[in-house]
Copies of this chain bind each other. A is one copy, B any other.
Amino acid sequence: METSGMAHSEVHYFQSYNHHGIHEEMLKDEVRTNTYKNAIYQNAHLFKDKVVLDVGCGTGILSMFAVKAGAKHVIGVDMSTIIEKAREIVAVNGMSDKITLIQGKMEEITLPVDKVDIIVSEWMGYFLLYESMLDTVLWARDRYLVPGGLIFPDKAHIYMAAIEDGDYKEEKIGFWNNVYGFNYTPMQKVALAEPLVDIVELKAVVTKPCLAYSIDLYTVKVDDLSFSVPFQLEVERNDYVHAFISWFDIDFSACHKPLKFSTGPHAKYTHWKQTVFYISDYLICNKGETIRGTLSSKPTAQNPRDLDVRLDYQFEAADPKRSKGEVLTYKMC
């Protein structure tokens, strides 16, 4: 195959850059930020005179969107020192009387109100749930949201597909077979057990996508963030499969005209990219065949925002010599 699933990209390890770089990257993610902006601005009738809670407010962009849309008051909460910058930004935009910013853990601080009408939050992590703040959003929902209150966004959907990725897999995994003449296979085991967050080109996808799991933020419980769900991938062309990939879509269904965005390989770039799970070797698949499996994810014992992910797949090919199955475990931590 000539396709390489991954677009190559440089890696920055510059800590001090990262400090603010993460906020720059999120703000410059126009799919993300414009969808929030549209969801809020196009629904000013929902925000007018409402009390809004912004969970994990960062630099305060969603809080300011809500004020512009007519909110009576917005409370922004974030654990990070970025909230000091948010305070300066809110001030230079003349909104200090409309936005209250609180640094701390949502579960530990005291809000200046007993209830809020709307929760806005950009809580999504890589693979939706890695380092995500969803648990905090749910805690805030249960404690603060009035009955009938709204959540922006309110639905998330995890999708799966399989990709041909021979060249890049060789670069990322095969590399460790011979490093300047030495056997580095101990690093290979580590590399295989860590999902890769990277840009997957659409042409690398060899199956139809499959919706694996959906989350409704009005009803989901923290326990539902540990899940084990079946998936079924229909092969669309004769090709090899080197990895499964996952991405998520986000819905704002409280909007007058529902808005959504996708982080899939078919959609415009977002900073979430896609998450790649390499299998130990590869599959030889023909059009029309099906890969069946189970995707399991749960927070690790050590840290509720790290994940243990399991992929249990069975590929039954027309020719049994091509059939294969594995149970793969990954750590996102």
- Partner-B contacts on A (CB < 8 A): 9-25, 27-28, 33-34, 37, 59, 61, 64-65, 68, 85, 88-89, 92-93, 126, 131, 175, 179-187, 190-191, 194, 196-197, 199, 306, 331-333
Contact = CB atoms under 8 A, between A and B. Distances in A.
B14 A89 contact: no
Complex copy number for this chain: 2
Given A16-B332, A187-B59, A182 B64 contact: yes
- Report the 3 A-B pairs with minimum CB-CB distance, sorted nearest first: A9-B10, A88-B186, A14-B197
B92 A185 contact: yes
Given A25-B11, A59-B187, A17 B89 contact: no
A316 B59 CA distance: 40
Given A12-B9, A33-B180, A93-B183, A197 B17 contact: yes
A27 B93 CA distance: 47
Given A59-B184, A184-B89, A21 B11 contact: yes
A199 B61 CA distance: 30
A126 B15 CA distance: 11
A23 B179 CA distance: 12
7 contacts: A9-B12, A14-B126, A24-B191, A27-B184, A61-B179, A89-B187, A92-B183
B93 A61 contact: no
Contacts of A34: 180
Contact of A17 (B33, B65, B85, B194): B194
Contacts of A180: 27, 33-34, 37, 61, 65
Given A20-B191, A126-B14, A197-B17, A186 B92 contact: yes
A67 to B, nearest CB: 10
Given A18-B13, A85-B187, A197-B14, A182 B93 contact: yes
Nearest to A37: B180
Contacts of A197: 12, 14, 17
